[in-house]
């Protein structure tokens, strides 16, 4: 089968032939229809320090996907052939304290699809049945392909109650834009989104932002004052991983405010912890999704009319992967989707 592979210990990704994945008794073989390009995939293609330290070579990359069940192992029940499915890309150990307590998203020995084991940028991918999500009812394939990052957005945005809250979202990448839509749908009173990309701030406005801020040209504190938020924001979602964004976020929180952090910094960030203590802020780290509580929430949000269409901006055939990766890397985009349906 054809697949996008990190084939060499150097920058780049290559479209090449690889064997179809083996299917164990508890596994599901899935014919891939669509995949979404993630920031993680860009790190792997660039072959930066993080990628070199974590990704084995050679490896089929990719973890955002939707497809049809092609075959199931002898021990798999309840997942029929032909079903439309996406997959939870975090594969857990099942034996650590958190796994045994039902807190699977906190597994310390998590393996990542397309990061530590063969991924979904291919004609076929195999997953343990417990990681397979079966879509019920009609589902737009592009939306289904990005359930993984949508889950990150939902997990972050629902970390704290949002009804009636004044919400700050720092970072208008695809997950930040999805979180904006979730916050609007969940009853937030005010949603302010900050970034330095006017293109992506435009996507945030389409998703329901009350106000957007190009922080390279305007102070967040001035925007807050213009909106009459004298005491600051009640809830903040940090999506950027940028030091300046985190510091500005903390400076604009009200006393007792709550911060959910999904953005992953690429280096250590110094913050004024005295402000966090004196304002009695709650800071919660977010990684991935709750398995599978977040998935049920995602499905319910879409069923109740949440619109993700603004965030999916570019579509390419998988053979045009180089242009797709360059588009994602350039940043004037939301989610970039690869179509594998013609690969059969």
CA gap 161, 157 in Å, rounded: 8
Q: How confident is the model at residue 5 (pLDDT cuts 50, 70, 90)?
A: very high
Global confidence as pTM: 0.94
pLDDT in tens, 35-93: 999 999 999 999 999 899 999 999 999 999 999 999 999 999 999 999 999 999 999 99
155 is in an annotated binding site: no
* Across 134-155, average pLDDT: 96
* Across 134-138, average pLDDT: 92
The SS3 assignment for 292 reads coil
CA gap 119, 115 in Å, rounded: 7
Overall CATH class of domain 152-285: alpha beta
Name the average pLDDT for the chain: 96
For residues 63, 337, 209 and 301, what is the CA-based torsion angle, rounded to 10 degrees?
-60
* Across 283-301, average pLDDT: 95
Homologous superfamily of 2-146+308-343 in CATH?
Answer: Medium-chain alcohol dehydrogenases, catalytic domain (3.90.180.10)
CA gap 225, 219 in Å, rounded: 10
DSSP-assigned states of every residue in 46-107: HT-HHHHHH--SSEE---EEEEEEEEE-TT--S--TT-EEEE--EE--S-SHHHHTT-GGG-
What are 315's strand-pairing partners?
337
Has residue 266 got a pLDDT over 90?
no
Q: Which tokens hold the place of 23? A: 């299917």
* Across 296-324, average pLDDT: 96
Higher pLDDT, 226 or 343: 226
Give the domain ranges of the chain: 2-146+308-343, 152-285
38 is in an annotated binding site: yes
The answer to whether 2-146+308-343 and 152-285 have equal CATH topology is no
What are 169's strand-pairing partners?
193, 237
264 is in an annotated binding site: yes
262 is in an annotated binding site: yes
User: What's the burial of 235, exposed, middle or buried (CB within 10 Å: 0-12/13-18/19+)?
Assistant: buried
Q: How confident is the model at residue 267 (pLDDT cuts 50, 70, 90)?
A: confident
Catalytic residue numbers?
Answer: 40, 43
266 is in an annotated binding site: no
Has residue 304 got a pLDDT over 80?
yes
Q: How confident is the model at residue 344 (pLDDT cuts 50, 70, 90)?
A: low
């Amino acid at each position: 089968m054809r697949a996008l592979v990190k084939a060499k210990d150097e920058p780049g990704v290559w479209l090449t032939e690889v064997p179809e994945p083996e299917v164990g008794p508890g596994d599901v073989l899935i014919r891939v229809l669509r995949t979404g390009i993630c920031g993680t995939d860009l790190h792997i293609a660039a072959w930066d320090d993080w990628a070199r330290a974590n990704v084995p070579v050679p490896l089929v990359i990719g973890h955002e996907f939707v497809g049809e069940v092609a075959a199931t192992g002898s021990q798999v029940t309840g997942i029929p052939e032909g079903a439309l499915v996406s997959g939870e890309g975090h594969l857990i150990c099942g034996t650590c304290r958190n796994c045994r307590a039902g807190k699977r998203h906190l597994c310390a020995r998590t393996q990542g699809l397309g990061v530590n084991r063969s991924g979904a940028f291919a004609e076929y991918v195999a997953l343990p049945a417990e990681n397979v999500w079966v879509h019920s009812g009609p589902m737009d394939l592009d939306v289904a392909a990005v359930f993984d990052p949508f889950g990150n957005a939902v997990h972050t945005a629902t970390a704290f109650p949002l009804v009636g809250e004044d919400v700050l979202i720092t970072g208008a990448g695809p997950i930040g834009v999805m979180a904006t839509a979730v916050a609007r749908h969940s009853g937030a009173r005010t949603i302010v989104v900050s970034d330095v990309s006017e293109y992506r701030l435009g996507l945030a406005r389409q998703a329901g932002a009350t106000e957007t801020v190009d922080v390279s040209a305007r102070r967040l504190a001035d925007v807050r004052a213009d909106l009459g938020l004298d005491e600051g924001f009640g809830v903040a979602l940090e999506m950027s991983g940028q030091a300046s964004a985190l510091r500005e976020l903390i400076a604009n929180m009200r006393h007792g405010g709550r911060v959910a952090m999904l953005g992953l910094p690429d280096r250590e960030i110094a913050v004024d912890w005295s402000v966090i203590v004196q304002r009695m802020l709650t800071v919660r780290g977010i990684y991935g999704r709750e398995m599978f509580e977040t998935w049920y929430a995602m499905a319910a949000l879409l069923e109740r009319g949440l619109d993700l269409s603004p965030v999916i901006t570019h579509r390419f055939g998988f053979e045009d992967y180089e242009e797709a990766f360059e588009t994602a890397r350039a940043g004037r985009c939301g989610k970039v989707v690869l179509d594998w349906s013609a690969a059969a």
